[in-house]
Structure 1
């Protein structure tokens, strides 16, 4: 490990252009629940089926309840030292940009410069009008965004295993996984309305399944990669970068001369193209590793007490 850090540090200090791909593992130490899986949100609902334009058209109240919960949980979390370290690198290194697959807003709250942060999947804290004739969009960190979307059950998720167990504990034969937990009724009239046109509903500014990735973001990253100058280093942090376009960026950066530095909790999470002897894999918690391997450039990073 010490020899890896030494060789990495030497390369980092000589690097002029650096790209970072950021995934959910970056926020793991902030205690943010995952979007899906064993520890996922809203266990009695298929989260993927809620993250579509069709779902919003069919039941905007249910979709907004899902995203209001995600916004609430993200705001309860705090940016960790990795978010802070990357934000500091962005401030001090003119040739660094980050492409984040996260929608949790933690990089923004760590004060990562906006011009050095590209959001591939949008943000929970961006909202936009659904009216065809209105182009309103804005950043919004209000929790809840409207009173009707206040989180029930003492700020807990009513569809967690514990909440479902409370519903079914008197039924010995009940399958807890199938216990029905009813969400509070929310009327469409009480959902967030556009303050500009006063007619359209607002929707979360995330990229839903079936929607195109933001062309502005893709163009910005393509412009960085296709610049005539070589790329020295690409970070892959908290993601396997195995799904396109992220997987392609690793190969493209390597073709421009970049060496790859992976920071992941699981050794199996290598980029789709694998690693070479000239690359680095730092296994463990990104919140611990990222500040350590960047400190020769950014100095020491401490977690501010009570940081919002």
Structure 2
């Protein structure tokens, strides 16, 4: 296993040289992205220190049952996340990966992120698979309606969901108590935010729109999983899998690392936490680059992508 001791740049010279030599000759590459990729863009990881989930019970907000019970509360939480993600901008790691996708023909990126930053960095759409959907996709919650909409950057999505001027999260326990709500009572409605004020489906006129993300208890998108499986099951070797900003300990993410190894891939981990390694661990010849992906990715990919210059993202002003 490569050393985790780092120069101020974050990348040990010996590891940099061996990784870049392997990258140069690699033809089939897989990247697995997690929330740590977006940390430098100002978005907290949900399970990290200070993450949004520290002030919320995910099982009360990120499930179909929660949306059926209190769509106003769920939409406030997701509208807040949309707002904060739109304020953030893709960082150099997003741009570096997007450029690598353009340079390497047989390259696939699997993202667990829903923040929209990779698409806004112009990552080629056919080489980016969003495992958990996107905050900026919406779909009808009515069982009999198939309406979906992609890249909806309207902020707020409806006027009633406007974020407070101090940009505080309106769904924390403290915020709810300040509004004198009894959150244990399922029959309590949010003031001025009942069913009538939430985003409606323009197609069926019956159902509410819901965030186009995968909630707990839901299946991952079938078309995305099929695309990934088709790519991975080709009768070809996989040369490299990069695991960026995620521990990859939870399936299906952990499974993709294992499957890539079976196809011959070496593993490169880029993470802030040296203890965050995939479930299968690291092996001789793998790399662990400890630090901020926004600093590390442009450096370790430079021999293939050249210097990265950030460009205005597609969603600015949207």
**TM-score, structure 1 as length reference:** 0.90
**Paired residues of 2:77 and 2:169 also in contact (CA < 8 A):** no
Moved more, 209-218 or 40-49: 40-49
Alpha-carbon offset, residue 113 of structure 1 = 1.1
Equivalent residue, structure 1, for 2:82: 71
Aligned to 1:155: 167
Once the two structures are TM-superposed, the CA of residue 185 in structure 1 deviates from its matched residue by 3.5
Residue number among 202, 206, 211 corresponding to 1:204 in the alignment: 211
Residue of structure 2 in register with 1:105 after alignment: 116
Q: Which has the higher contact order (CA 8 A, sep 6+)?
A: 2
Which of 18, 31, 43 pairs up with 1:20?
Answer: 31
Structure 2 gap ranges (5+) = 1-11, 180-189
Report the CA distance between 1:41 and its aligned residue. 2.9
Q: Quick check: 1:17–1:95 contact (8 Å CA) kept in 2?
A: yes
From 227, 238, 244, give the equivalent of 1:220: 227
- Does the aligned pair in 2 maintain the 1:127–1:203 contact within 8 Å? yes
Give the counterpart of 2:135 among 118, 124, 127. 124
Report the Cα distance in structure 2 between the residues aligned to 1:85 and 1:111, rounded to whole angstroms. 10
Alignment check: 8 A CA contact 1:131 1:199 kept: yes
* Partner residue in 2 for 1:142: 154
The aligned counterpart of 1:172 is none
Q: Distance in 2 between matches of 1:26 and 1:54?
A: 30
Q: Which residue of the partner structure matches residue 272 of structure 2? A: 265
- Give runs of aligned pairs for residues 274-293 of structure 1, distance below 5 A: 274-293=281-300
The secondary structure found in structure 2 opposite 1:217 is: helix
**2:177 corresponds to:** 180
Q: Please give the alpha-carbon distance, in whole angstroms, between the structure 1 residues aligned to 2:158 and 2:79.
A: 9
Pairwise mapping of residues 163-174 of structure 1 onto structure 2 (< 5 A)? 164=174
String of CA shifts for 1:217-276, please: whole Å, max 9, x gaps: 111111111110100000000001100111111111111010101100111011110111
Q: What is the count of residue pairs matched by the alignment?
A: 293
Query: Residues of 2 paired with 1:264 and 1:29: CA distance?
Result: 12
Q: CA deviation at 1:114?
A: 1.1
Q: Does the aligned pair in 1 maintain the 2:254–2:279 contact within 8 Å?
A: yes
Equivalent residues of 1:42, 1:159 under 8 A apart: no
Q: Per-residue displacement from partner, 1:28-59 (whole Å, max 9, x unpaired)?
A: 00011333565233765423310000000011
Question: Alpha carbons of 1:275 and 1:306: their partners in 2 closer, same or farther (altered >3 Å)?
Answer: closer
Q: Structure 1 regions of 5+ residues with no counterpart?
A: 168-178
Alignment partners' CA distance in 2, 1:42 and 1:222: 31
